[in-house]
Amino acid sequence: MRVILTRRESLEFPDGVSIFMVSLGQALLELQHEVRIVLGWLGSRAVYDRLLSPRLDLPIVALSDRPLTGFASMRAWLRARRLINNFEPDLVIHSETIPVPVHGTTVQTVHDLQPRSGRLAPIRRGIRRFCTRRCEHVVATTKELRSELVTDLKLPPSRIGLIPKCIDRTLYHGDPLAVRERAILHAGTQPYKNPAATVRAFAALDDQTVRLYLTGEVTAHLQQALDSLPNHLKSCVIPMGEADGQTVRALHGRVRVASFPTSYAVPVASATVMEAVAAGTPIVGSASLSRDILVDGVNGLVVSTEPEDMAAEFRAVLDQDRLWSRLSDGAGQLIQQFDAYCVARQYLALSSGHQMNAQPLP
């Protein structure tokens, strides 16, 4: 089968959509299908290789080496339409809405419904809704997102399927508890990941035997939170910068706790959270994470982002071996449904005319 994966943005950034596309693309290739990834732009293949560290050399076609806007974007995607149609795909999976129709069974995968701002935001929302409704299949990646899409797109629930995001489980290895570092990992410093909340909670924990690892660019807001730490804790925080994919995976399997005080408009199953789950690492996270990927008391603890509340949950997972082991075992069970090969087969079934599993909405 010939499969196209598309995204308007780049794959250079190790966000949830990038991890999903790389994991799915690799699984499809290993299931003996032809795959092409078509991107709006890709600034540096070297940066992509370093930050995502893919296991396979995926066939990527980038329409530009810089972000596309306005008419330049439309012209580029018209060129891409010819490229895609010449490939004669059986299945096209869009991770972000593309403003041109293409051949093959088309699937719009909706990863989030974060509100867009700016003067053109209403127009962009209208285009997104129009393009999404035109696809043969609409896929939500969490139950909460599927419920919101029924209202947002004004489609019946039967038109919106549910297929989770996926991850390449073969890339993750979690160390046994006996050799785990007494440490917390916060992955990503974009504003919605709320790294300052983790730093404030680390200050409230006030334990010099614990290390806090931070991956991602140190923004001005994060630096302000770091500067506010008591002097005796500053040396316990280790900013890793834009660490490569292999380093981040190793960290997930080495620390004792992963912190996700994330803020989403609609709960999503972040692929960066899946990395912790795949490594068997318990999560302390906000209610903005989907219950599909963070189940309170099963693979982690759901908590408010108030410093004292987060610190109390950090302390519990750091100090209580039985709790840690139970949550780690729960992670091992939960991650199975997000296996890339399993998810790939669900997408392939759509091209065969099978209906998606339209579960009843809660």
Tens digit of each residue's pLDDT (9 = 90 or more) over 224-266 = 999 999 999 999 999 999 999 999 999 999 999 999 999 988 8
Average pLDDT, the chain: 93
Reported as a pLDDT band with limits 50, 70 and 90, residue 118 is low
Reported as a pLDDT band with limits 50, 70 and 90, residue 115 is low
Q: Which range, of 144-153, 205-214, 215-224, 349-358, averages the lowest pLDDT?
A: 349-358
- 296 C-beta neighbours (distance < 10 Å), count: 13
All structural domains of the chain, each given as residue ranges with its CATH number in brackets, are 2-166+339-351 (3.40.50.2000), 170-338 (3.40.50.2000)
Name every residue whose Cβ is closer than 8 Å to that of residue 238 and which is 6 or more positions away in sequence: 211, 212, 213, 214
For position 116, what pLDDT does the model report?
Answer: 61
**pLDDT mean over 169-190:** 96
> Taking 50 as the threshold, does the pLDDT of residue 361 lie above it?
no
> Taking 60 as the threshold, does the pLDDT of residue 356 lie above it?
no
For position 286, what pLDDT does the model report?
Answer: 97
> Taking 70 as the threshold, does the pLDDT of residue 121 lie above it?
no
Tens digit of each residue's pLDDT (9 = 90 or more) over 63-79 = 999 998 888 888 999 99
Strand partners, 292: none
Decide: 111 and 25 in contact? Cβ < 8 Å.
Answer: no
Tens digit of each residue's pLDDT (9 = 90 or more) over 7-20 = 999 999 899 999 99
Provide DSSP, 55-120: SS---EEES-SS---HHHHHHHHHHHHHHHHHH--SEEEESS--SS--SSEEEEEE---PPP-STT
For position 358, what pLDDT does the model report?
Answer: 42
DSSP at 139: E
What pTM, to 2 d.p., does this model score?
0.92
Residue with the larger pLDDT of the pair 227 and 129:
227
Q: Tally the C-alpha atoms within 13 A of residue 279's C-alpha that lie toward its C-beta.
A: 28
Round to whole Å and give the CA distance between 273 and 246: 16
DSSP at 361: P
Phi, psi angle pair for 18, to nearest 5°: -60, -45
Name every residue whose Cβ is closer than 8 Å to that of residue 328 and which is 6 or more positions away in sequence: 174, 177, 280, 281, 282, 299
Closest-CA residue to 358 (of 165, 162, 163, 164): 162
For position 71, what pLDDT does the model report?
Answer: 84
> Taking 50 as the threshold, does the pLDDT of residue 107 lie above it?
yes
Distance (Å) of CA 357 to CA 5, 108, 136, 150: 21, 15, 15, 15
Helix (H, G, I), strand (E, B) or coil at 308: helix
Residue with the larger pLDDT of the pair 14 and 24:
24
DSSP at 167: B
- 69 C-beta neighbours (distance < 10 Å), count: 9
Closest-CA residue to 93 (of 13, 161, 14): 161
Report the side by side order of strands in the sheet with 181-187: 237-241, 211-215, 181-187, 255-260, 283-285, 300-302
